[in-house]
Chains A and B, each alone.
Chain A
């Protein structure tokens, strides 16, 4: 009897909490379908008079697509180079013995503790002096730089757990390090490649501060910048803003459910068992 009671309260708490998480998301998605008047009178219920215009006008808005496209370019560009450079570096740290190995590894590790905010002004000046302002590289390169540390740690941890025998056998057969990296290491590392890619993609996709600093040209805005501009334009027209929010929410949720395993593995550093 006692256990039943406890389970009962446990579920009560958990469902309450789940409600606290889900209700704000639910009212946002539904809010996009409501008329302004209805938002006032009917916050919680389903829309009485479904209004699709908020969504359709956004979907027909070329800026909306442009900002999504820009963010895609930033995310894919960043991820490609982070995965390539970090895995190469981690490969050397994991397999090649040389004097400065440990030192260089710690160099990257220390960088992990540097807050991005400290660097923003000098970073902006460097990007400007390199003539990168007004290009996608202004966002991509700093994102690569700040993404390397954590990715190197994840890659190195994974590479070190790979069986040494493959490596020794391959080297004996006259396989060079470079060949080994491309022929064996990368193909055998799909889980960690996926994890690092997913983390880097999401980090870049959601990044707000860096594009905000680096980008002045509206044609290069990322979607978080776009949504903030949109908010400024339609300050209390919540229906429109919520539609925008929902349209970015849905892909994020779908993405998460598809790749949940890798996201969680990356963030917790070890896999959470199903």
Chain B
């Protein structure tokens, strides 16, 4: 006779196996293994056909760090990160503080500022490629208004990156604002009222109470912003495609042009590994913040 308890135990094991297998298989085959394989392939010169045989050691990495275009793309990624962290996020925080209060029309502004985030990155970039167009775009109209010949910003080595940064700012500050608003709403009303009774003005309240209590939220948005910046690709393609003269590549667009399009699996993987290592470095710094159980629902 099988006991009910035994049945329950059996049912539990079946459940574990049947419920976990699809996700575990797909995740392992298509996420975890490819990352490991990228590390392995990066030591080979290989076009993806047959087995990787031509072991080249660290040559791919050596070439990468001597390559002017790659160094440039690395720098560009750091500019993107710097602008995101030191301009975009503080700005998003400021706006969040401005409209989270009982401001009339807060919902309207929230929606409008969040709007760019829901557009496809490709579409965002195409819209801005038009805006920047020196013949037809808004830039042309503004310059024309002052009677000047409009520049082709995206074709100008000195300005193209700035133009891309503006688009990134335009598209992504809304999501960070939204994250901050969510964080601000979680601050208890009692604390804020107590501060008010004690005579704290809006600026004191912001700096002494709201921002300190928002630190976990800020850490989250910094993390998302870092990972997002490192993987930037879609926005660059319609705007400059990495040009002019390859000065506006991100690491991922570099990987696409010089690894994927030429089917250089080994070399491309080396680029991928560099991106991975930078992400890993950041993630380790964040491990304690993100892995804590009480924080996971926020993620």
Interface residues of A (CB under 8 A from B): 10, 13-14, 17-18, 20-25, 27-28, 31, 36, 39-40, 43-44, 81, 84-86, 88-89, 91-92, 96, 98, 104, 106-109, 111, 113-126, 128, 141-142, 144-146, 148-149, 152-153, 157, 171, 174, 176-178, 181, 202, 205-206, 208-209, 212-213, 224, 227-228, 231, 236, 238, 241-242, 245, 248-249, 252-253, 255-257, 260, 263-264, 267-274
Q: Are A119 and B34 in contact (CB under 8 A)?
A: yes
A270-B279 in contact given A20-B170, A24-B127, A44-B141 (Cβ < 8 Å): no
Taking chain B's interface residues, is the majority helix, strand, or loop, or is none over half, making it mixed?
helix
Q: Are A118 and B118 in contact (CB under 8 A)?
A: no
Measured between beta carbons, the chain A residues less than 8 angstroms from B138 are 23-24, 27, 43-44
How many Å from the CB of A162 to the closest CB on chain B? 13
Q: Give the 10 A-B residue pairs with the shortest CB-CB distance, closest first.
A: A145-B30, A118-B272, A119-B34, A122-B34, A206-B120, A122-B37, A43-B141, A177-B15, A268-B182, A118-B276
A116-B16 in contact given A13-B98, A227-B126 (Cβ < 8 Å): no
Contact string against A for B residues 21-60, beta-carbon threshold 8 Å, 1 for contact and 0 otherwise: 0111011011111110110010000001000000000000
Q: Is B231 an interface residue (CB 8 A)?
A: yes
* Sample of 12 more A-B contacts, CB < 8 Å, known A118-B279, A242-B130, A260-B111: A27-B131, A81-B22, A92-B16, A114-B32, A116-B231, A119-B38, A122-B35, A125-B265, A126-B33, A148-B23, A212-B256, A270-B186
Interface residues on B, range: 35 or more
Q: Is B107 an interface residue (CB 8 A)?
A: yes
Measured between beta carbons, the chain B residues less than 8 angstroms from A122 are 33-35, 37-38, 41, 265, 269
Contact string against A for B residues 246-285, beta-carbon threshold 8 Å, 1 for contact and 0 otherwise: 0000011001100110000100110011011001100100
Measured between beta carbons, the chain B residues less than 8 angstroms from A270 are 182, 186, 297-298
Q: Are B8 and A171 in contact (CB under 8 A)?
A: yes
Q: Is B197 an interface residue (CB 8 A)?
A: no
A17-B113 in contact given A43-B138, A122-B33, A274-B107 (Cβ < 8 Å): yes
Measured between beta carbons, the chain A residues less than 8 angstroms from B185 are 272-273
State the total of A-B contacts with C-beta under 8 angstroms: 280
Q: Is B159 an interface residue (CB 8 A)?
A: no
Q: Are B280 and A117 in contact (CB under 8 A)?
A: no
Measured between beta carbons, the chain A residues less than 8 angstroms from B160 are none
A120 to B233, CA, bound (A): 13
How many Å from the CB of B81 to the closest CB on chain A? 14
